[in-house]
């Protein structure tokens, strides 16, 4: 690098970090201070508080892209991406993740979504249309009673019939209950929970698929709601659990702001080409495209952040982070066991749920709360994300003991 360029870059970095000291608005500065503090003990929700986007923002401003109004309306997987967009990068993001979820080369379609819910919306909508276009009948949706509420809301929104299937005490859909509930006159839209929100349970897809296999006449579509677990599992030895070929699912939704630490909501939605090819066409002349996705305007910056993280963090570091989180989950459970605090954790999960502590601790650590009589009633949980280190866990245990 030339000396003058280096000097300019150093100066720019200095100015940007100096500017970050104060916004010029006392109210905003105070607010910032609060959340930087809260972040230190934010244990109850699945947000990676080690965001790695500082240099992205520096590049974004220094390149002048902050003054360019982009929009990813349209299909990023076509050969002719929309002009004022980051669709070319969005496509690379989908192509990076497709093999990690076991999709065959060139057989995946996908987008960067606005959130986990947006991904589930596409998963359920695509499933309903796929099944209707194949059979002429609307499906029944089957989902466990521990799955995230967004799935229920979306079925309500899409006017779909839903059957809530009972889960076992640990939160996994019970295969025998699915068998009993099946409506043999209509297609099946399965929503598998890959990480139920409170207990961190994964529906046993192989066991549930075996139930469905007993009825070869049923036309089945499977969507996986893998908001949190779909982020880290591909980087662990349990990666087969999120492999679309091994688990025979058609579509998956993953959040970008959970494991990947993107600093505001976004996500991934991927499905097979076969599913995409059986959607309703909306040929929109002014956009010069076939608009199969639900939203028209779509965010162009979030795909850039995803792309940036693939380059800057990437596969190996995500493996380290994912395995570190699972190690620290075991550590947290061991420390709770040591002090005799009733606690439970599902296999493959980075969530530990336990007897709810005193309100001061719930508040300080922002613990999410639950209730289940099988586990003594009032519960809380910790989601062991990248920033929940062993040292912080020790502090948490100390606080529990002191109470």
Ligand X SMILES: Cc1ncc(COP(=O)(O)O)c(C=O)c1O
Spatial CA neighbour of 111 closest among 268, 294, 231: 268
Shortest Cβ 45–ligand X spacing (Å): 7
Site size with ligand X, rule: CB under 6 A: 14
Query: Are 123 and 270 within 8 A, CB to CB?
Result: no
Binding ligand X (rule: CB under 6 A), the pick from 81, 187, 195, 303 is 195
Nearest residue to the partner ligand X, using Cβ: 116
Of 114 and 333, nearer to ligand X (C-beta) is 114
The window from 95-103, 113-121, 138-146, 273-281 that contacts ligand X (CB under 6 A) reads 113-121
The CA distance from 146 to 174, in Å, is 11
Q: How far apart are CA 216 and CA 293, in angstroms?
A: 30
Distance CA 151, CA 231 (A): 19
Which of 116, 127, 175, 200 binds ligand X (CB under 6 A)? It is: 116
Q: How far apart are CA 230 and CA 113, in angstroms?
A: 14
- The residue within the footprint of ligand X, chosen from 131, 178, 202, 227 (CB under 6 A), is 227
**Residue 171 binds ligand X (CB under 6 A):** no
Q: Which stretch binds ligand X (CB under 6 A): 111-119, 244-252, 317-325, 371-379?
A: 111-119
- Residue 113 in contact with residue 122, Cβ under 8 Å? yes
Q: 129 or 199, CB closer to ligand X?
A: 199
Token match 């009825």: residue? 215
Residue 255 touching ligand X (CB under 6 A): yes
Indicate the angle between helix axes 301-312 and 87-100, nearest 10 degrees.
Answer: 50
From 75-83, 86-94, 99-107, 115-123, span contacting ligand X (CB under 6 A): 115-123
Of 225, 250, 263, 299, which lies in the binding site for ligand X, with binding defined by CB under 6 A?
225
Closest to ligand X by CB, 228 or 361: 228
Q: Is 117 in the site for ligand X (CB under 6 A)?
A: yes
Among 85, 150, 346, 350, binds ligand X (CB under 6 A): 150
Residue closer to ligand X (CB basis): 82 or 259? 259
Closest to ligand X by CB, 120 or 329: 120
302 counts as binding ligand X under rule CB under 6 A: no
CB of 258 to ligand X, least distance (A): 7
What is the number of alpha carbons within 13 Å of residue 60 lying toward its C-beta?
16
Report the C-alpha gap between 325 and 336 in whole angstroms: 16
Q: Is the separation of the CB atoms in 195 and 226 below 8 Å?
A: yes
- Candidates 51, 115, 279, 302: give the one binding ligand X (CB under 6 A): 115
Interaction between residue 346 and ligand X (CB under 6 A): no
Stretch that binds ligand X, among 60-68, 157-165, 224-232, 392-400 (CB under 6 A): 224-232
Minimum CB separation of residue 46 from ligand X in Å reads: 6
Stretch that binds ligand X, among 109-117, 154-162, 205-213, 303-311 (CB under 6 A): 109-117
Is there binding between residue 197 and ligand X (CB under 6 A)? yes
Q: CA 110 to CA 98: how far, in whole Å? A: 8
DSSP string across 313-344: THHHHHHHHHHHHHHHHHHHHHHHHHTT--EE
Q: Does 167 bind ligand X (CB under 6 A)?
A: no
Among 148, 381, 387, 392, binds ligand X (CB under 6 A): 148
Q: Which stretch binds ligand X (CB under 6 A): 16-24, 52-60, 112-120, 202-210?
A: 112-120
Q: How far apart are the first and last CA of the chain?
A: 57
Q: Is the CB of residue 222 less than 8 Å from the CB of residue 272?
A: no
Residue corresponding to tokens 């519960």: 379
Q: What are phi and psi of 368, to 5 degrees?
A: -75, 145
Residue 108: CB minimum distance to ligand X, A: 21
CA distance 238 to 323: 10
Quote the DSSP letter at residue 240: G
Task: Determine the Cα–Cα distance for residues 166 and 100; give it in Å rounded to an integer.
Answer: 30
- Paired with 368 in beta bridges are 381
For ligand X, the binding residues in 305-344 under the rule CB under 6 A are: none
Judged by DSSP in three states, 381 sits in strand
Chain residues in the site for ligand X (CB under 6 A): 115-117, 120, 148, 150, 195, 197, 225, 227-228, 255, 265, 267
């Amino acid at each position: 690098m030339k000396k003058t360029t280096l000097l300019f870059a150093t100066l720019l970095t200095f100015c940007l970090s100096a500017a970050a000291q104060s916004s010029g608005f006392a109210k905003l500065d105070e607010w910032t201070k609060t959340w930087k503090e809260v972040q230190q003990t934010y244990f109850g929700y699945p947000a990676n508080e080690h965001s790695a986007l500082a240099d992205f923002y520096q590049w974004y401003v220094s390149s002048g892209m902050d003054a360019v109004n982009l929009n990813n309306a349209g299909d990023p997987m076509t050969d002719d991406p929309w002009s004022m967009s980051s669709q070319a990068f969005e496509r690379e993001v989908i192509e990076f993740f497709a093999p990690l979820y076991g999709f065959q080369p060139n057989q995946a379609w996908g987008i960067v979504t606005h959130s986990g819910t947006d991904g589930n919306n596409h998963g359920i909508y695509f499933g309903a249309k796929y099944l209707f276009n194949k059979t002429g009948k609307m499906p029944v949706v089957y989902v466990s009673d521990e799955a995230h509420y967004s799935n229920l809301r979306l079925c309500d929104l899409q006017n779909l019939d839903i059957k809530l299937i009972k889960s076992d005490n640990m939160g996994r859909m019970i295969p025998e209950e699915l068998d009993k509930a099946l409506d043999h006159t209509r297609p099946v839209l399965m929503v598998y929970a890959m990480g139920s929100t409170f207990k961190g349970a994964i529906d046993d897809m192989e066991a549930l698929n075996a139930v469905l296999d007993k009825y070869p006449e049923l036309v089945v579509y499977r969507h996986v709601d893998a908001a949190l677990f779909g982020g880290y599992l591909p980087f662990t030895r349990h990666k087969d659990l999120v492999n679309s070929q091994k688990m025979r699912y058609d579509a998956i939704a993953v959040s970008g702001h959970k494991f990947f630490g993107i600093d505001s909501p976004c996500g991934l939605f991927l499905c097979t080409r076969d599913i995409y090819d059986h959607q309703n066409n909306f040929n929109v002349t002014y956009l010069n495209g076939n608009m199969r996705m639900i939203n028209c305007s779509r965010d162009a910056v979030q795909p850039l952040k995803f792309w940036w993280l693939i380059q800057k963090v990437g596969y190996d570091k995500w493996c380290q982070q994912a395995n570190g989180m699972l190690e620290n989950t075991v550590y947290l459970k061991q420390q709770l066991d040591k002090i005799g605090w009733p606690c439970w954790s599902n296999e493959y999960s980075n969530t530990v749920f336990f007897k709810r502590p005193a309100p001061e601790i719930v508040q300080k650590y922002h613990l999410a709360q639950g209730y289940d009589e099988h586990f003594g009633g009032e519960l809380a949980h910790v989601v062991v994300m990248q920033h929940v280190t062993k040292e912080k866990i020790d502090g948490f245990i100390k606080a529990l003991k002191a109470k």
